[in-house]
Amino acid sequence: MNQASGPEIERLIQLLAKLPGLGPRSARRAALHLLKKREQLMEPLAEAMGEAAAKIRACAECGNLDVTDPCAICASQRRDPKVICVVETVGDLWALERASAFKGRYHVLGGVLSALDGIGPDQLNVAKLIERAGREETSEIILALNATVDGQTTAHFIADKLEGASVDITSLARGVPVGGELDYLDDGTLAAAFKSRRPA
Amino acid sequence: MSAAGPDTPPSTAAPASAAVTRLKLTNFRNYAELDLSLDARPVCLFGANGSGKTNLVEAVSFLGPGRGLRAAGADAVRRHMAEGPADIWAVYAEALTRDGPVSLATGADPADPARRRTRLEGAAATQSELARLFPMMWLTPREDRLWAGPRADRLRFFDRLVLAGEPHHGQTAIAYEKAMRQRQRLLDQWAETGRIDPDWVHALEREMASAGTALAAARLDALVRLQGEIDERPETRFPKADLGLEGTLEAWLAEGLNASEAEDRFLDALAGSRRRDSAAGRSLTGPHRTELTARHRAKDQLAADCSTGEQKALLLGLALAQCAALARARGAAPVLILDEACAHLDAARREGLAAAILEVGTQAWLTGVERQLFEPFGAQAQYVEVENGRAGAVS
């Protein structure tokens, strides 16, 4: 406990230190910076946080975060309702949206299976996905999960669960990155690239 | 302490093998500060017991993938006397690699000193990248009882040999073990609660099957190359070994099953062993259970039954053969650390060791209490005297 500052500052530092990427030292720096820029930064930030906390909710359909429920993507008539892209987090959804490569709808799982962290199917948004996959309009489920052990385990798990539904189940290709040189790729990526080769 | 480099100027041309050309230590073990300039020749460290020879080669081992030759955590290597902001320890090296000269650094993460971070040319480096650029093998007194000791230690030693030639091997092993631990957790819960989600277990078994088959295939591949190298080598001072890998997956692959057939068969075996694994509290089948076997060819004796000196000579023979096999296959030999390896060798074997190291062209790091142990290297090695956390090149 820092005795040079009051409990208000200590509480602020402790809360900031819980943010991803911040430790106790950087939280202290951030708190001092906020206090120094009270009008330009701290007050607008507090207001923005209050507003976000009050208004933003998870979409009951897909799990995306938005001020409306269903979210703007689920409500949009211009998005293809037949194709659902399954992602781990809203951050992954944003990454795909930035790439503008996908015009269908999403499904945010809210994590991946991890027995060691106590995250099982019940903690993930899987039941809703099975329901959506069973709808007549759905024709394809794209599994866009990370190429980690947990990500791929979750992908296998979902593929097994969706076996009965009459939808195509696909997953993102793995292999040579855009602008990548073969000489610099690791053997696992090269092997994956060969497995998923396609007619040129 | 700074030391001038030896007479031979460091070569800047792309070398055949990885080599450290400058090593800087800060608050590492018993070194407050050290700055050594080197060239690509083997490095012989000599000094009294407890002077810091092993600490120095441990620092070198930190430049490769993994946790170094003592398997130490980031908070274990910090110098005890460190003062003030010097809480942070670091190992910095300039090295010649297959990609040309690079800078490598590893040390405590300033934001969280209990964690270690590794940088390559100033950017975060992955374990696979380190394994590719800076392949490394070591033998320490810990391995003296390897042949008679626990099976898992032998497998770990062999996996390190494999990793020196197959940079992805470490990541595959981690993926396999992670999936295995997760599956075991579910099977343990099954034993406790009677409930299980078969789809979840199956998904993990698929990951285990895919990574496990890759592990076994890489090991078999390395074993074939290594045995080939041993068979072709002229007789040296080091005994030849006949190696074997006894494991279910390795046996299937050796029988001629292709990788995807072996993977499917292993997947079935995992599904069939859930009840047994649940009762046992561990996975009873898989490449984590593989046994590395070795026989002393000339004596037709199991390695474990050989004398201590012969066991050590067999290990040295394996490490040297793997260096030579990799130098042949990739055009570059891994860095080889031999901690206290010369102490138990007779004069003839010390000569044989020097000849083998010089022939492969690896930058070997050797330690010993006296300089005379390294006499067979003559002027073809560089000598560093270590004394109480200080070290300096001597001619």
Looking at the fold, whether A82 and A113 belong to one and the same domain comes out as yes
Q: Which residues contact A136 (CB under 8 A, 6 or more apart)?
A: none
Note whether A104 and A50 are same-domain residues: no
Does B47 appear as a known binding residue?
Answer: yes
Q: Are residues A108 and A161 in the same domain?
A: yes
Chain A residues with beta carbon closer than 8 angstroms to that of B207: 149, 152-153, 156
pLDDT digits (tens, 9 = 90+) for B120-152: 988 888 888 888 888 999 999 988 889 999 999
Query: Does the annotation flag B30 for ligand binding?
Result: no
**B4 has pLDDT over 50:** no
Cα B35 to Cα A30: distance, rounded to the nearest angstrom = 36
Q: Shortest CB distance from A113 goes to which of B128, B200, B211?
A: B200
Q: Is B52 annotated as a binding residue?
A: yes
Chain A contact for B183 (CB, 8 A cutoff): yes
Per residue in A48-84, is it b (16+ CB within 10 Å) or e — as a string?
eeeeeeeeeebbebbbbebeeeebebbeeeebeeebb
Put simply, the answer to whether B183 touches A115 (Cβ < 8 Å) is: yes
**Is B178 close to A149, i.e. CB distance below 8 A?**
yes
Residue type present at position B139: L
- Residue B293 known to bind ligand: no
Report whether the peptide linkage leading into residue A70 is cis, meaning its omega lies within 30 degrees of zero: yes
Judge if A69 and A167 occupy the same domain.
yes
What's the pLDDT at B144?
87
Q: Using CB atoms, which residue from A25, A26, A153 is nearest to B204?
A: A153
Q: Report ipTM (2 d.p.).
A: 0.73
Pick the CATH number of B1-125+334-395 from 3.40.50.300, 3.30.930.10, 3.40.50.720, 2.60.120.10: 3.40.50.300
Confirm whether A43 is domain-assigned: yes
Interface residues from chain A to B (CB-CB < 8 Å): 23, 25-26, 113-116, 120-121, 149-150, 152-157, 160-161, 186-188
Question: At B103, is the secondary structure helix, strand, or coil?
Answer: strand
Contact A86, A158 (CB under 8 A): yes
Q: Do A51 and A69 sit in the same domain of this protein? A: no
B161 in Cβ contact with B221 (< 8 Å): no
How open is the CA angle B193-B197-B203, to the nearest 5 degrees? 135
Q: Is B185 exposed, middle or buried (0-12, 13-18, 19+ CB in 10 A)?
A: middle
On whether B66 is known to bind a ligand per the annotation, the reply is no
User: How far is A37 from B72, CA to CA, in rounded Å?
Assistant: 44
Does any CB of chain A come closer than 8 Å to the CB of residue B206? yes
Say which CATH number the domain at A155 has.
3.40.1360.10
B111 contacts in chain A (CB < 8 Å): 23, 25-26
B301-336 pLDDT, tens digit each = 999 999 988 899 999 999 999 999 988 887 788 999
- The CATH number covering residue A25 comes to 1.10.8.420
Query: For residue A99, is pLDDT > 50?
Result: yes
Residues A140 and A166 in one domain: yes
> Rounded to an integer, what distance in angstroms lies between the CA atom of residue B48 and that of residue B55?
13
Q: Are the beta carbons of B51 and B387 closer than 8 angstroms?
A: yes
Confidence of residue B86 (pLDDT cuts 50, 70, 90): low
Task: Name which of B112, B168, B207 is nearest A187 (Cβ-Cβ).
Answer: B168
CA distances from B224 to B100, B244, B321, B331, B391 (A): 30, 9, 12, 18, 41
Degrees (nearest 5) of the Cα angle A110, A113, A119? 75
Measured between beta carbons, which residues in chain B are less than 8 angstroms from residue A26? 111
φ/ψ (deg, to 5) at A199 = -55, 135
Q: What is the mean pLDDT of residues B63-86?
A: 78
Q: Are residues A86 and A132 in the same domain?
A: yes
For residue A191, tell me if it sits in a domain. Answer: no
Q: Using CB atoms, which residue from B132, B189, B207 is nearest to A152? A: B207
Q: Sorting pLDDT into bands at 50, 70 and 90, what band is B83?
A: low
The burial class, CB within 10 Å (0-12 / 13-18 / 19+), for A36 is exposed
DSSP readout, B173-229? HHHHHHHHHHHHHHHHHHHHHS---HHHHHHHHHHHHHHHHHHHHHHHHHHHHHHHH
Contact A149 B183 (CB under 8 A): no
Whether B178 has its CB under 8 Å from any CB of chain A: the answer is yes
Q: Is residue A193 part of a domain?
A: no
Average pLDDT of the segment spanning B3-29: 67
Range of the domain at A49: 7-55
Would you say residue A191 has pLDDT above 90? no
Tell if the CB–CB gap between B111 and A187 is shorter than 8 Å: no
Task: Tell me whether B167 touches chain A (CB under 8 Å).
Answer: yes
pLDDT, tens only, B208-265: 999 999 999 999 999 999 999 999 988 878 999 999 999 999 999 999 999 899 999 9
Alpha-carbon separation of residue A34 from A42, B347, B374 (angstroms):
5, 70, 62
Q: Is residue A176 in a domain?
A: no
What's the pLDDT score for residue B317?
Answer: 92
Share of chain A above pLDDT 90, in %: 73
Give me the long-range contacts of B152-159 (CB less than 8 A, separation at least 24).
B154/B291, B154/B292, B155/B288, B155/B290, B155/B291, B155/B292, B157/B292, B158/B219, B158/B222, B158/B245, B158/B292, B159/B219
Same domain, A109 and A36: no
* Same domain assignment for residues A95 and A148: yes
Tell me the mean pLDDT in the region A61-76: 95
A15 assigned to some structural domain: yes
For chain B, the straight-line distance linking the first and the last C-alpha, in angstroms and rounded, comes to: 17
Its sign, for the CA torsion A125, A130, A131, A132, is: positive
Q: Is B162 helix (H, G, I), strand (E, B) or coil?
A: helix
Residues 6+ apart with CB under 8 A from B262: B213, B216, B249, B252, B253
Which residues 122-161 of chain B have a CB within 8 Å of chain A? 128, 132
Q: Which residue of A123, A124, A152, A153 to mutate against B (max B Cβ within 10 Å)?
A: A153
Residue A189 lies in a domain: no
A186 in a domain, yes or no?
A: no
Task: Give pLDDT tens digits for B334-377.
Answer: 999 999 998 888 899 999 999 999 998 999 999 999 999 999 99
Domain edges within chain B: 1-125+334-395, 145-333
- Show residues of chain A in contact with B183, CB under 8 Å: 115
β-bridge pairing B100-109 and B112-120: antiparallel
Together in a domain, A123 and A47: no
The pair of structure tokens assigned to A30 is 């951030």
| Residues B204 and B183: beta-carbon distance below 8 Å | yes
Q: Which of B213, B186, B195, B196 is nearest to B269 (CA)?
A: B213
Q: What is the pLDDT of residue B14?
A: 39
- Cβ-nearest to A160 among B167, B183, B202: B202
Q: Which two tokens stand for residue B336?
A: 């080889």
Q: How far apart are CA A8 and CA B369, in angstroms?
A: 60
Nearest CB to A153 within list B168, B172, B207: B207
Residues of A in contact with B132 (CB under 8 A): 186
> What is the average per-residue pLDDT within B282-302?
95
pLDDT in tens, A167-185: 999 999 888 888 888 877 7
Give the amino acid at A68: T
- Asked if B18 and B133 count as a contact pair (C-beta separation under 8 A), the reply is yes
Tell whether B98 is within 8 A of chain A (Cβ).
no
Separation between Cα atoms, residue B230 and residue B324, nearest integer Å = 9
pLDDT tens per residue, range B160-205: 999 988 888 999 999 999 999 999 999 999 999 999 999 999 999 9
Q: Is B271 on the interface with A (CB under 8 A)?
A: no
Is the CB of B203 less than 8 angstroms away from the CB of A120?
Answer: no
Across A14-18, B71-75, B374-378, least confident range: B71-75
Distance CA A41, CA A37 (A): 5
Q: Please state, in angstroms and rounded to a whole number, the distance separating the CA atoms of residues B372 and B350.
A: 10
Structural domains in chain A (count): 2
In a domain, A184, yes or no: no
Give the closest of A23, A153, A160 to B112, CB-based.
A23
CA distance, residue A119 to nearest chain B CA (Å): 11
Mean pLDDT (chain A, rounded): 91
**Per-position DSSP letters for chain A, written without gaps between them:** --TTS-HHHHHHHHHHTTSTT--HHHHHHHHHHHHHTIIIIIHHHHHHHHHHHHH-EE-TTT--EESSSS-HHHH-TTSEEEEEEEESSHHHHHHHHHHT---EEEEE-SS--BGGGTB-GGGTTHHHHHHHHHSTT--EEEE---SSHHHHHHHHHHHHHTTTSSSEEEE---SPPTT--GGGS-HHHHHHHHHT----
Q: What is the mean pLDDT of residues A132-159?
A: 94
Using the beta-carbon criterion (under 8 Å), do A157 and B203 form an inter-chain contact?
yes
Rounded to an integer, what distance in angstroms lies between the CA atom of residue A38 and that of residue A46? Answer: 10
Query: Do A47 and A129 reside in the same domain of the chain?
Result: no
**Contact between chains at B207 and A156 (C-beta distance less than 8 A):** yes
Q: Are both A51 and A70 inside the same structural domain?
A: no
CATH architecture of B145-333: Up-down Bundle (1.20)
Output the pLDDT for position B202. Answer: 96
Residue B66 pLDDT exceeds 90? no
